[in-house]
């Protein structure tokens, strides 16, 4: 029964995925110019994935793209005839490169790229490609951008200027920053040629930083200028600088990495980690020929009663270059084992082969590692072989040679899933020790199974993600992206969800998340500022409590007047927001619900705590005393809050993201950027030295004892952060793997489960909108802005203006007005805004610019009139105006004229609707909906509570993150060297002067 359900779920997922893929077959040019068969083999998996989707793919690679029968119907290919030249060259000896230093290896790789470029552009395939790309228009170019920048000129000459998707099978290369922006993160990611798992301590971090600096200098001042000349020689004319082309032209970067193996780093929205694309199991289409291992190999492995070991050094390292003496040593050691050994050996041997060993010229490694009797694999530590072993959960013996292999080996050893075997000290004893340790010490298998689970646990397979991203680049050649994820939990979770922010909009947003969790069958206990009213079958697994009367107290307070806050300065608004948080904490912690929550959390064990962490840090203490210490998922409906960096690590990016309370779309120019940076600094100082110390006292008073500093708790305890942002609206910034953007969670349409009670707008509203032949305008200022605080005079002005329109207006108005209501106007106390905006006759919405209302309008493609008041509303309004999807209406200058101008402009200028439809398309185009992403992340946290996705940057001080200690150390050493230099110079001077004086004295004496 369970297998049937799994199959059904898989089919449903495939159908859902197909719905967001390209509606027509694409014409794709795929270029794989890297002279390495491992890159070609990796690319073959991507090519097959594109062909399975029905796309037409023309491939130019270093090897033949041998795909047969039905799958190959839409495939054409050509070959860069270079691999034979490389493999027969005396200089091509990867086993010798093992001896090269990290500095020389950095230079050597670039030189290898230059030589390869020089060779490839002279091939017949390259010349034919150049002619073809000028005349044949492709929908997209997909290219390995690891090291072959000499082919960038093709992008400049390509007919129709198709979008570019670059991929890097090599993993996180040191020059990745040149493709995606941002730093290289040398404090957490080892330089690829260095045999360390992670730079630890000042000494290693200093050297690692120097390696990255050296690599950057070589690339920009040696490699790129040389390759620029080759690229221009190839295309026959001058082209833009290569560093400009790669910065401006690449739409999407597919990166062969994953934070379960490599240290997670912040990545921009257009960069997708697709590690495992080469390892995942793919269901073939009808008529596809599936290649597997031979029958004799199957029989050999089937009869391995004591288990089997696979030996494979990938495609680049050849045993013939290692030498017969080493091979004889390996044979001698292996002959003493009772296990069977399947050995991929590229040469004939003059030795007798023991009965327990089978040698083959080639093996389909992924398929062989799936055999039930394979217990370990002995490999070179290449990234692709490593990923295949991790995916299959097979522990490893690693004998690295060059490039990233040594670093990969150290990572595997550090994770307890592999043993390092040094080629320089290889002997029968070291081999036997490694094999026996990997086979009989069960911790290696156990650790690898755990690592495999984390590595494979994705919302969607890496191949599907890669294919989707290529299709997305065609649909939105100028668009922006999010990281798509999806997964179905296997068991019902017990979830505690806390919504302590005294804002009805946060509660409404959270209800969408609660309903999503309930639809998945999870048990959810909610404590919020309002009742969580969910009826029918959906509410069966829901219990809730309410922070009693908090909202009523706030709304009845004389100080609670958001419409007056519009006049506050940016600086004061920053302080005011934190003071509001302090007041909220003080009120919340005294409620009956808070006291009962404290007692409950000590005795009832939840699987996960999901909490709004926007501003009420006084509830962090609950995490400290919670029974069983469940993992924490924090969410921020407020969007990219200025203090986001304290949750996720890294900087605030004040040069690209406007400060929350500043009325700008994006800081432009030195003046705005300076002020924006100043705002962020001010905000950080208030939070760290005013807000958090006060909240610390309130938190400890609430818990009843001392707790860790709150800044430490939020740094170390939060496993995943869900932020309500998306780069189609907010400026995209690099985010670590544990930070997921789920903007639109409140806006997306949801298919209800059976017997779920669906609430919608009343019949009179439906009739009113149905009869709006000239279109309808919706007016709604969200949940925080009250019209009674705006005043009757403003309301009268608006009614006068609206009465002159032929459109109908649905107005959410919270007070009774003593004026006559025109026939084209309908007033309601509350509206289901998301549902109302879906009505076919709604042509525009007049709102306050709150983030949630803005996202609902964007999702539905409805242009906006924005009348902002406080916090992020002014910034949101400016963004909407900049994107040409909204009109700014200033409350201070509100008049009949300004209202009529805004409404008529938004209705009759079609550019607003056109631009909003485009923005909506970019905003909604996800591999999976934001609600599913949020649910997956919560379920993932329970499955992997140790924070696999968290970046190490989060635990580093700003001094370490910005390499200040490294630069200080280097500066200190330079000063010492200069002192020594000048001291020696002075000593030499005095010595020479002394010699001269003595010599002169002797001469004068002799005279």
CA distance 324 to 317: 14
The answer to whether the beta carbons of residues 734 and 501 sit under 8 Å apart is: no
Torsion angles phi and psi, residue 585, rounded to 5: -60, -45
12 pLDDT exceeds 50? no
CA distance 646 to 238: 47
> So what's the pLDDT on residue 161?
92
> So what's the pLDDT on residue 68?
78
> So what's the pLDDT on residue 11?
37
In CATH, what class is 295-456?
Answer: alpha beta
Would you call 666 helix, strand, or coil by DSSP?
coil
> So what's the pLDDT on residue 560?
67
C-alpha atoms less than 13 angstroms from C-alpha of 556 in its C-beta half-sphere: 5
CA distance 531 to 527: 9
Select from 3.40.50.2000, 2.60.40.420, 4.10.1240.10, 2.70.98.60 the CATH code of 26-273: 3.40.50.2000
913 pLDDT exceeds 70? yes
Q: What does pLDDT average to over the chain?
A: 86
Cβ of 424: how many Cβ atoms within 10 Å? Answer: 6
Read off the tokens for 366: 């992924």
> So what's the pLDDT on residue 4?
42
Best CA proximity match to 639, nearest among 724, 715, 755: 724
551 pLDDT exceeds 90? no
- Mean pLDDT of the region 946-975: 77
The answer to whether the beta carbons of residues 815 and 600 sit under 8 Å apart is: no
The answer to whether the beta carbons of residues 849 and 871 sit under 8 Å apart is: no
Pairing of strands 808-812, 886-888: unpaired
CA distance 90 to 69: 39
Best CA proximity match to 62, nearest among 39, 89, 42: 39
917 pLDDT exceeds 90? yes
- Mean pLDDT of the region 833-861: 92
| Fold observed for domain 494-730 | Rossmann fold (3.40.50)
- Mean pLDDT of the region 425-452: 92
pLDDT band at 15 (very low <50, low <70, confident <90, very high): very low
CA distance 758 to 649: 40
pLDDT band at 871 (very low <50, low <70, confident <90, very high): confident
930 pLDDT exceeds 90? yes
> So what's the pLDDT on residue 20?
41
> So what's the pLDDT on residue 283?
77
Torsion angles phi and psi, residue 251, rounded to 5: -80, -45
479 pLDDT exceeds 60? no
**Which residues, at least 6 apart from 878, have a Cβ–Cβ distance to it below 8 Å?**
658, 663, 664, 665, 888
Dihedral of the alpha carbons of 847, 848, 854, 858, in degrees to the nearest 10: 30
741 pLDDT exceeds 70? yes
Read off the tokens for 629: 């210490």
CA distance 368 to 886: 58
Pairing of strands 357-360, 140-144: unpaired
Q: Return the residue matching tokens 């003046």.
A: 671
Higher pLDDT, 286 or 327: 327
Would you call 64 helix, strand, or coil by DSSP?
coil
CA distance 929 to 737: 18
Read off the tokens for 44: 């073959």
pLDDT band at 482 (very low <50, low <70, confident <90, very high): very low
pLDDT band at 883 (very low <50, low <70, confident <90, very high): very high
- Mean pLDDT of the region 537-552: 84
Q: Classify residue 976 as exposed, middle or buried by CB count within 10 Å of its CB (0-12, 13-18, 19+).
A: exposed
16 pLDDT exceeds 50? no
Handedness of CA 740, 741, 746, 747 (dihedral sign): negative
487 pLDDT exceeds 80? no
56 pLDDT exceeds 90? yes
Which of 138-152, 361-375, 650-664, 982-996 shows the lowest mean pLDDT across its residues? 982-996
CA distance 840 to 517: 30
Q: Return the residue matching tokens 């330089």.
A: 191
147 pLDDT exceeds 90? no
868 pLDDT exceeds 70? yes
- Mean pLDDT of the region 675-687: 92
Pairing of strands 164-168, 374-379: unpaired
| Fold observed for domain 763-924 | Rossmann fold (3.40.50)
- Mean pLDDT of the region 269-294: 80
Best CA proximity match to 730, nearest among 505, 929, 481, 935: 481
Helix (H) or strand (E) holding 115: helix 102-120
To the nearest whole percent, how much of the chain has pLDDT over 90?
A: 43
829 pLDDT exceeds 90? no
């Amino acid at each position: 029964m369970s297998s049937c359900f799994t199959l059904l779920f898989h089919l449903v997922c495939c159908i859902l995925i197909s719905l967001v893929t390209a509606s027509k077959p694409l014409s794709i040019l795929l270029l794989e110019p890297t002279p390495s068969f491992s890159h070609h083999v990796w690319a073959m998996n991507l090519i097959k994935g594109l062909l399975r989707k029905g796309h037409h793919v023309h491939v130019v690679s270093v090897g033949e793209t041998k795909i047969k029968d039905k799958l190959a119907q839409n495939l054409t290919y050509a070959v860069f005839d270079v691999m034979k030249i490389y493999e027969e060259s005396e200089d091509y000896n990867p086993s010798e490169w093992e001896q090269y230093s990290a500095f020389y290896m950095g230079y050597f790789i670039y030189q290898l790229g230059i030589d390869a470029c020089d060779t490839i552009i002279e091939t017949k395939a390259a010349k034919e490609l150049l002619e073809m790309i000028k005349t044949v228009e492709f929908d997209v170019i997909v290219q390995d951008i690891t090291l072959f920048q000499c082919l960038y000129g093709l992008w400049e000459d390509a007919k129709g200027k198709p979008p570019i998707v670059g991929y890097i099978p090599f993993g996180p290369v040191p020059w990745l920053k040149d493709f995606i922006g941002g730093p290289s993160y040398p404090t957490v990611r080892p330089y690829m040629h260095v045999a360390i798992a992670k730079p630890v301590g000042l000494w290693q971090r200093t050297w690692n930083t120097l390696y990255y600096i050296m690599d950057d200098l070589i690339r920009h001042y040696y490699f790129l200028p040389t390759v620029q000349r080759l690229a221009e020689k190839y295309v026959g004319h001058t082209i833009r600088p290569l560093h400009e082309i790669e910065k401006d032209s690449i739409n999407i970067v597919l990166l062969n990495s994953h934070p379960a193996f490599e240290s997670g780093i912040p990545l921009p929205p257009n960069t997708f980690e697709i590690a495992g694309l080469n390892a995942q199991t793919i269901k073939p289409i009808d008529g596809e020929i599936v290649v597997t291992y031979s029958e004799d190999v199957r029989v050999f492995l089937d009869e391995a009663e004591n288990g089997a070991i696979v030996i494979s050094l990938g495609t680049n390292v050849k045993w013939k270059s290692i030498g017969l003496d080493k091979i004889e040593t390996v044979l001698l050691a292996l002959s003493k084992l009772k296990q069977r050994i399947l050995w991929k050996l590229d040469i004939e041997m003059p030795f007798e082969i023991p009965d327990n060993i089978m040698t083959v010229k080639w093996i389909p490694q992924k398929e062989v590692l799936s055999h039930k009797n394979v217990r370990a694999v002995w490999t070179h530590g290449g990234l692709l072989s490593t990923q295949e072993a991790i995916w299959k959960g097979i522990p490893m013996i690693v004998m690295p040679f060059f490039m990233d292999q040594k670093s990969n080996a150290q990572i595997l050893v550090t994770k307890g899933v592999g043993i390092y075997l040094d080629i320089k000290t290889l002997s029968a004893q070291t081999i036997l020790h490694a094999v026996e340790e990997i086979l009989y010490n069960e911790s290696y298998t156990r650790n690898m199974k755990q690592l495999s689970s984390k590595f494979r646990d994705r919302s969607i397979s890496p191949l599907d993600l890669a294919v989707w991203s290529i299709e997305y680049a065609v649909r939105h050649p100028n668009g922006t992206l999010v990281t798509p994820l999806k997964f179905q939990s296997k068991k019902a979770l017990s979830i505690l969800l806390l919504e302590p922010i005294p804002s009805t909009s946060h509660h409404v947003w959270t209800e969408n998340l609660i309903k999503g969790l309930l639809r998945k069958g999870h048990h959810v206990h909610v404590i919020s500022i309002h009742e969580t009213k969910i009826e029918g079958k959906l509410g069966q697994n829901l219990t809730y409590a309410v922070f009693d009367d908090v909202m009523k107290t706030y709304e009845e307070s004389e100080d609670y007047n958001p419409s007056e806050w519009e006049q506050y300065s940016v600086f004061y608004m920053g302080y005011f927001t934190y003071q509001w948080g302090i007041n909220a904490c003080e009120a919340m912690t005294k409620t009956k619900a808070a006291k009962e929550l404290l007692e409950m959390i000590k005795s009832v064990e939840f699987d996960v705590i999901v909490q709004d962490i926007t501003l009420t840090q006084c509830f962090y203490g609950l995490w400290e005393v919670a029974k069983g210490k469940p993992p924490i998922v924090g969410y921020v409906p407020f969007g990219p809050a200025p203090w986001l960096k304290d949750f996720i690590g890294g900087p605030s990016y004040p040069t690209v993201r406007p400060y929350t309370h500043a009325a700008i779309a994006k800081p432009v120019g030195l003046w705005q950027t300076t002020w924006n940076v100043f705002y962020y600094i001010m905000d950080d100082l208030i939070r760290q030295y005013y807000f958090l110390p006060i909240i610390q006292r309130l938190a400890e008073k609430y818990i009843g004892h001392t707790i860790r500093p709150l800044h430490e708790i939020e740094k170390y305890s939060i496993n995943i952060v869900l932020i309500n942002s998306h780069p189609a609206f907010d400026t995209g910034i690099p985010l670590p793997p544990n930070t997921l953007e789920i903007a639109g969670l409140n806006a997306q349409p949801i298919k209800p489960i059976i017997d779920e009670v669906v609430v919608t707008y009343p019949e009179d509203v439906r009739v009113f909108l149905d009869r709006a032949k000239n279109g309808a305008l919706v007016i709604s200022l969200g949940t925080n802005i009250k019209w009674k605080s705006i005043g009757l005079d403003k309301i009268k002005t608006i009614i006068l203006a609206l009465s002159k329109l032929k459109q109908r207006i649905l107005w959410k108005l919270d007070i009774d007005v003593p004026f006559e209501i025109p026939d084209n106007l309908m007033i309601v106390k509350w509206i289901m805004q998301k549902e109302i905006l879906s009505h076919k006759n709604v042509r525009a919405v007049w709102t306050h610019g709150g983030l949630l209302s803005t996202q609902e309008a964007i999702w539905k493609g409805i242009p906006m009139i924005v009348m902002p008041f406080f916090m992020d509303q002014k910034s949101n309004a400016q963004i909407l105006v900049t994107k040409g999807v909204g009109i700014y209406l200033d409350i201070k200058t509100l008049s009949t004229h300004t209202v009529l101008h805004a409404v008529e402009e938004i209705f009759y200028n079609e550019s607003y609707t056109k631009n909003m439809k485009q923005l909506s398309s970019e905003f909604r185009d996800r591999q999976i909906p934001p609600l599913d992403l949020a649910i997956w992340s919560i379920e993932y946290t329970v499955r992997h509570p140790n924070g696999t996705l968290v970046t190490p940057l989060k635990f580093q001080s700003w001094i370490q993150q910005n390499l200040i200690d490294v630069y200080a150390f280097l500066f200190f050493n330079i000063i010492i060297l200069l002192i020594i230099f000048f001291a020696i110079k002075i000593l030499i001077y005095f010595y020479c002067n002394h010699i001269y004086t003595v010599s002169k004295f002797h001469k004068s004496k002799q005279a």
